[in-house]
A and B are shown apart, each in its own frame.
Chain A
């Protein structure tokens, strides 16, 4: 509404105080009244207010859009945060049994990078990609062949640029339907069927709070590697020998089922946590974006008012000097 008032004021002045000398009071051509913006060079002041007005309008729209995106992200975060926190107990028994050996030395490492499909979520996808590249570097050596399985479009785009030959499988649009365990376990099953692995390293952003996300890597070992470690008798896995296997199956078969189950549980938690982190990061990115837009808008408003007032002052001084010149 203030904008409309300013616009009206602008229009009111332009026809009354035409930029030409007062003596030439002949009626100016009407087009100049209708489009005060496209005035002669003397009227440069009106043009700049229009330019500034346009900028202000677009910045205000950006602010509205980012605020709306933030609200949407906040509501999605609320819903998914509860599920992520409930699923946190899922991987703990596996670590209690098998321990955590991220630095284990194996030939076939598969790095599963979990990322988002949509952008505008801050730096979380870049963090995951950098970590994955770091893990690749850590695990590459003479006989080792590390591979990527990429979940999510954003990481795929970044990794395809320089590590195309290492990417084995890409999965996208995971979050199109709300996440549930069945879907993720089918996905985990697919990955296990299509990729040979000795160790799976799942890279994701763990949700700590709305403003902090912790890059994490979870390791799942294949049954053969677990067997090898049990036989070597060192570390947590060495103690696995003392566990009796209930039932007729051998330890190898049980470990096979265990590895698959562990992978699907860890994937489920990882995907949920990453989705939470994505929403949280989007909230803070959109929040800082609307704040910045607000600041730009303040600055533009000041410029606009300054320009407008300068124009008015110039007109006034012209009239006054013209009038005093006439009086003598």
Chain B
């Protein structure tokens, strides 16, 4: 049975086989590659040239640029919506979602991002991130990460961990806060103190997220 499935895969027909191979093939066609942007081609072309000179027998490896859709250029006028990509290591929460505004918890405080925001790189601290689209507001508690705002009104937010606020248990937050505050006071080495301080920061941010 699997021999036939393998042949079907090679022909890339969406045959409804029951094997895992068939299921993977049904998913695979949706992940086709998009074309390179012309500017991207030059970087890759240089690499391919250099590779061919030194190692002619092996095909040059692909680079991540060829697996990514190119971003649009900065438009002349400010667009009406902000396009947000919110990614986590285990999921892409929001992918090219068009929203009105995003508020991210940067290290210096809340950073509100509107369409046409100047290009910025911001490090995030533990806090609440909210996405405003019309009248609906979605709030997540993010642990930390980075936020990039590009000139073409694209915002990329990469966080290590994010949870919707209603999934946070308030009692555990209080317990954790008390525990880490106690650890800070009893810490002996700098490393322990730093770790305990991080714990206190995260838990107090969680606390204010729940109450505020």
Contact = CB atoms under 8 A, between A and B. Distances in A.
Interface of A: 70, 74-75, 77-78, 81, 83, 85-97, 99-103, 130-131, 134, 137-138, 181, 185, 203, 206, 208-211, 214-219, 235-236, 242-249, 254, 257-258, 261, 265, 268, 280, 283-284, 287, 291
B50 A70 contact: no
Nearest to B89: A181
A257 B118 contact: no
Interface residues of B, number: 62
A292 to B, nearest CB: 11
Contacts of A291: 3
Interface stretch (B39-47, B184-192, B204-212): B39-47
B131 to A, nearest CB: 16
B123 A254 contact: yes
A326 to B, nearest CB: 56
Interface in B43-75: 43-44, 46-47, 50-51, 54-55, 58-59, 61-65, 67-68, 71
Contacts of A258: 121, 146
Interface stretch (B16-24, B132-140, B162-170, B175-183): B16-24
**Chain A interface SS verdict (over half):** helix
Given A138-B51, A216-B64, 17 more contacts: A77-B24, A90-B88, A91-B64, A97-B148, A100-B65, A131-B58, A134-B54, A209-B9, A211-B9, A214-B62, A218-B64, A246-B111, A247-B106, A249-B107, A261-B158, A280-B24, A287-B3
B106 A74 contact: no
A152 B138 CA distance: 41
Contacts, number: 175
A70 B119 CA distance: 50
A261 B89 CA distance: 11
Interface string B4-47: 00100110000000011101110110010000000110011011
* Residue among B20, B46, B160 facing the most chain A CB atoms (10 A cut-off): B20
B76 interface: no
- 5 closest A-B pairs by beta carbon, nearest first, are A93-B156, A246-B122, A89-B92, A209-B28, A134-B55
Contact of A249 (B28, B89, B120, B123): B123
Contact of B24 (A210, A235, A247, A254): A210
B21 A242 contact: no
B145 interface: yes
Interface in B90-111: 90-92, 95, 106-108, 111
A96 B21 contact: no
A293 to B, nearest CB: 12
Contacts of A210: 9, 20-21, 24-25, 28
13 contacts: A90-B89, A92-B156, A93-B146, A99-B65, A100-B40, A206-B67, A216-B63, A217-B63, A236-B39, A245-B121, A246-B121, A249-B107, A291-B3
A209 B111 CA distance: 40
Contacts of B58: 130-131, 134
Nearest to B93: A89
A203 B21 contact: no
B95 A243 contact: no
Interface in B137-159: 145-146, 148, 150-151, 154, 156-158
Given A74-B19, A86-B92, A246-B106, A95 B64 contact: yes
B61 A217 contact: yes
Contacts of B123: 246-247, 249, 254, 257
A280 B27 CA distance: 14
A304 to B, nearest CB: 24
